[in-house]
Structure 1
Amino acid sequence: MGRTPIASSPAPEAAIQIPTRRSEKPRRSRPPRPPPPPPEPSKWVAWLSPTIIFINIALFLVAMYLNNCPSHSHTCIGASFLGRFSFQGIHENPLLGPSATTLLELGAMDVKKVVEGGEAWRLVTCMWLHAGVFHVLANMLSFVFVGFRMEEEFGFARLGGVYVISGIGGSLASSLYVRTTISVGASGALFGLLGAMLSELIINWSIYENKVQSLMSLLLIILVNLAVGILPHVDNFAHLGGFLTGFMLGFVLMIRPQYGYINKKKMPDYIASSAKSKSKPKYKPSQCIMLIVALVILITGFTTGLTMLLKGVNGNDHCSWCHYLSCVPSPLWTCQARCTSSQYENRVQLTCMQNRKSQIYTLNNGTTAVPIQQLCAELCG
């Protein structure tokens, strides 16, 4: 008579008895998928290291151009094809470079000019000058193996800070003990980089795997380079001063977070909250102690050294054996003549540290370390 109700229809009844497929079962709620991890930071490309190399080589070329050996000497090397870039004679500069007068005009370290002339800027300028081709090539090749790696690992700011401050520390140490010669070169800055690498390994000891092997290799390199400084005509005081300065700077500038520290600022919130209880403090107490001690030693050393230098204090007067740190005499070579000096107006008294002979000389106005060195050599001879 009428339509059959839907509930009593056989077709729906059959449909109800059909078993449901697995895909039709109700799905369980899943947690939201975490966001993709942040991209890895791109590798740092060194730019300060090649800039430092360029500046050193460029300044050496400027020194050779201004030196213009053929205009005032007849014993120049390579004058026929190098022109004004030719080198001074071997008797004056065996490293194939400009004259001492040219280096002084460009900013070489001269204790008299710093003490009496107030030219403390020479502590900085002398580290960018080099005495000859062999000098600049040896230093820049050494810098290639150390500077690029350090800049890629720690950035340009830390590399530049260690390089410049260590160079000044080396110049300061040299000026306190090498009183009768001028000084140029980046050796102090390079030894500062080695010192910073050593202290960086010590203060970040827990994050390295091959600790002892790395330490032994680095110590061997440092000892070999310092041993070269006991040869004559090498300013080992600049090496030692730069190394000690860089060693202290490494504790201050090269400190890393300890193993197990988690930087939550760079993590998603849901991970940072779970890692909060597992994270360690950023630095160990021992790291903080080493940093503070090194900073105090660094500030005290620079303050004391600058005060002594500007007052004209001769470091050899307070340390009779320190000259052996720069040159150790042997049957194969003789050390450069070293004299202590005391000056009043235009009269200077030189005392040879080898034979203890003493002599008073009258100097002309404008006399620098070059003729004083010659007088010292005659006195010791």
Structure 2
Amino acid sequence: MGALQLDKVVHRHQVWRLFSCIWLHGGLVHLLANMFSLVFIGIRLEQDFGFVRIGFLYVLSGFGGSLLSSLFLQSSISVGASGALFGLLGAMLSELLTNWTIYANKFAATLTLIVIIIINLGAGFLPHMDNFAHIGGFFSGFFLGVVFLIRPQYKWVSQRNSYFGFVAPPVNSKHKRYQSVLWVISFILLCAGFITGTVLLLRGVDLNDHCSWCHYLSCIPTTKWSCKPQEDYCESTEMGNQLNMKCLSNGRSDTFSVSNSSPSQAEELCSRLCS
């Protein structure tokens, strides 16, 4: 259906799943929660910068979240727009910092936004939450916000909009120097991250092999829950080219047409039936 599944992305070259999983959800509650968050976060950004820029930022942030998720959670199937939503939060923060001089009450706004981000990232430490998608989406959105949401400095706008007879102070540059520096750095980091992540993913690299503690970023085990992925178990009987299979975890059963059934194919069908 388009969910993010590493095997199909890497071995079947279905790279489009890195994007399609953003539009899928794990139920009505999941969908409503994400859509409520999208309205709450996205309206202000869309009003200020237009739906084209924010839509582009939303999709690319979702891609960044899917990319990081695939590099760490390689045995999971992931759906949802949370990575893209965290990208909007990251973009709001970077837009505030990049255009710092034009805002009033900037410290209160920054503190409020940081608290919201920390609370939402903290919820990602619970089991069955894809916090790597949240983190990847957030940083993608942060750098995309610098690239796409940079505003011209106030004096330059005043000079362009000055009426006849009024002479505004001359300003040669549309943006302040620190804005230009941040734009260059963010663009380089963004391109490097997307390219490197995509290459590593298509090569089948598991970043957990290079970072022994990173799995704690997505789930912290406690006495109340375990972070180990739930394994799928199925009962199956094969009659000719028909494979009858029942998932023991959810009770679903189905019949599949197969030829020369292999253990890997049976495992994939079991995973699909139990998901």
TM-score, with normalisation over the residues of structure 2?
0.83
Which residue number in structure 2 is paired with residue 202 of structure 1? 97
Q: Is the 8 A contact 1:179 1:369 kept in 2?
A: no
Which residue number in structure 2 is paired with residue 363 of structure 1? 263
Aligned positions of 1:44-55 closer than 5 A? none
Q: Is the 8 A contact 2:146 2:186 kept in 1?
A: yes
Q: Is the 8 A contact 2:18 2:63 kept in 1?
A: yes
Alpha-carbon distance, 1:233 to partner: 0.5
* Structure 2 unaligned regions, length at least 5: 232-261
One-letter amino acid of the structure 1 residue matched with residue 26 of structure 2: A
* Distance in structure 2 (CA, Å) of the matches to 1:370 and 1:285: 57
Alpha-carbon distance, 1:282 to partner: 1.7
1:17-56 C-alpha deviation (Å, 9 max, x unpaired): xxxxxxxxxxxxxxxxxxxxxxxxxxxxxxxxxxxxxxxx
Among candidates 122, 128, 140, match of residue 17 of structure 2: 122
* Distance in structure 2 (CA, Å) of the matches to 1:213 and 1:184: 34
Whether 1:171 and 2:63 are equivalent positions in the alignment is no
Q: Is the 8 A contact 2:159 2:171 kept in 1?
A: no
Among candidates 178, 190, 203, match of residue 298 of structure 1: 190
Whether 1:223 and 2:118 are equivalent positions in the alignment is yes
How much identity, in percent, do the aligned residues show?
50
Among candidates 29, 35, 42, match of residue 140 of structure 1: 35
Alpha-carbon distance, 1:338 to partner: 8.3
One-letter amino acid of the structure 2 residue matched with residue 316 of structure 1: N
One-letter amino acid of the structure 2 residue matched with residue 236 of structure 1: N
Whether 1:150 and 2:45 are equivalent positions in the alignment is yes
Alpha-carbon distance, 1:337 to partner: 3.0
Whether 1:160 and 2:58 are equivalent positions in the alignment is no
Aligned positions of 1:169-318 closer than 5 A? 169-262=64-157, 264-271=159-166, 274-275=167-168, 277-279=169-171, 281-318=173-210
TM-score, with normalisation over the residues of structure 1?
0.61
Alpha-carbon distance, 1:368 to partner: 3.2
- The number of aligned residues is 243
* Distance in structure 2 (CA, Å) of the matches to 1:367 and 1:112: 12
The 3-state SS of whatever aligns with 1:261 is: helix
1:148-188 C-alpha deviation (Å, 9 max, x unpaired): 11101111112111100000000111111111111100000
Q: Is the 8 A contact 2:159 2:170 kept in 1?
A: no
**Higher RCO by CA contacts (8 Å cutoff, separation 6 or greater):** 2
Alpha-carbon distance, 1:336 to partner: 3.0
Alignment CA distance shift 1:163-1:370 (3 Å): farther
Please give the root-mean-square deviation of Cα atoms over the aligned residues, in Å: 2.1
Alpha-carbon distance, 1:108 to partner: 0.5
One-letter amino acid of the structure 2 residue matched with residue 299 of structure 1: C
The 3-state SS of whatever aligns with 1:364 is: helix
Alpha-carbon distance, 1:366 to partner: 6.7
